[in-house]
């Protein structure tokens, strides 16, 4: 039995899911249905780009969800799922896979989430930097010293991706002017990410509030298998608790490496990534030892399973 991991923002690419659409009637029906629900041709953006448009948060997130959901539907009878987790927006894919939310509700939630985050980024400009080669504790300490919310200067940890790889988030100009502190403390790489805002930081409070209101209109069911949630790296199946944690996610750090460790500590040793790219496979390899990790992205990957 396996834990299924669902990809997050940054793993998208032009042409994603196109080969699956061409080879599977199930995939074709789901993707066409998503276009109808959204009221625009998301599939054209996924298949043809341009890459600049696909990178816009309002399209990226729903594109990644759709790709992941299609893969799950094609593979769910071929793999035994013990638990699931998703990186940031991938958590909604995990909730869909475990039956917590239906396809139409999931599309609406992910699409609105992306729109709200995109809007928040315009209202309160922010950015994110990957910090490589510095211990999590050191990054936490530096962020705590630099974070200055009273003066409108936000600087916080956003994603604990793997040991030695943490993404920080905050006010755009302030963060850009502060990153040398991480280099001075020994970081090997400090790299700005191509994002439209300060995700998983207090700068997304407005998005969190509106998203929470939408969540309150959506019916959640208990999960058919445990979900390891981003906000606390703990497994959960209760519908209300999963909803409550999702409300906190936009302004809380993604505890991804902590989630992976918790999974292994529970006895899990087999991981499968579903979604575009191989980002999560790399994070598993850098975080855990003595486990297996594989991934499914294209139709040719699916054909390998009998």
Residues marked active site are found at 88, 200
Calpha distance 254→265 (Å, rounded):
19
CA 91 to chain centre: 6
281 touches 301 (CB < 8 A): no
Dihedral angle of Cα 24, 27, 31, 33, to the nearest 10 degrees: 110
Q: What span, in angstroms and rounded, lies between the C-alpha atoms of 82 and 47?
A: 32
Number of other residues whose CB lies within 10 A of the CB of residue 4: 27
What is the rounded CA–CA span in Å between residue 94 and residue 274? 10
User: 73: which 2 tokens?
Assistant: 């539907």
Helix orientation angle between 25-38 and 57-75, rounded to the nearest 10 degrees: 150
Using alpha carbons, select from 205, 200, 198, 160 the residue that is nearest to residue 178.
Answer: 198
């Amino acid at each position: 039995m396996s834990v299924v991991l669902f990809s997050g923002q940054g793993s998208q690419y032009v042409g994603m899911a196109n080969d699956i659409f061409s080879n599977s009637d199930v995939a074709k029906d789901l993707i066409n249905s998503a276009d109808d629900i959204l009221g625009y041709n998301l599939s054209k953006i996924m298949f043809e780009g341009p890459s600049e448009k696909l990178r816009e948060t309002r399209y990226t997130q729903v594109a990644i969800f759709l790709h992941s959901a299609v893969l799950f539907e094609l593979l769910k009878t071929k793999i035994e799922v013990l638990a699931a987790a998703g990186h940031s927006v991938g958590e909604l894919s995990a909730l869909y896979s475990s039956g917590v939310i239906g396809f139409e509700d999931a599309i609406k939630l992910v699409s609105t989430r992306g729109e709200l985050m995109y809007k928040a980024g315009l209202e309160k400009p922010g950015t994110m930097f990957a910090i490589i080669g510095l211990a999590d504790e050191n990054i936490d300490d530096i962020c705590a010293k630099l974070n200055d919310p009273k003066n409108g200067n936000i600087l916080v940890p956003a994603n604990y991706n793997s040991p030695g790889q943490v993404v920080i988030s905050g006010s755009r100009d302030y963060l850009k002017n502060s990153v040398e502190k991480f280099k001075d403390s020994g970081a090997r790489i400090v790299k700005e990410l191509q994002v439209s805002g300060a995700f998983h930081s207090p700068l997304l409070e407005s998005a969190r509030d509106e998203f929470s209101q939408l969540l309150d209109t959506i019916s959640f069911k208990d999960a058919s298998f445990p979900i390891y949630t981003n906000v606390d790296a703990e497994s959960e199946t209760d519908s209300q608790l999963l909803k409550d944690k999702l409300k906190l996610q936009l302004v809380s750090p993604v505890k991804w490496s902590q989630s992976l460790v918790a999974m292994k500590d529970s006895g899990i040793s087999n991981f499968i990534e579903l979604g575009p790219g191989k980002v999560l496979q790399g994070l598993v390899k850098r975080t855990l030892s003595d486990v297996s990790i594989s991934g499914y992205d294209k139709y040719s990957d699916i054909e390998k399973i009998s």
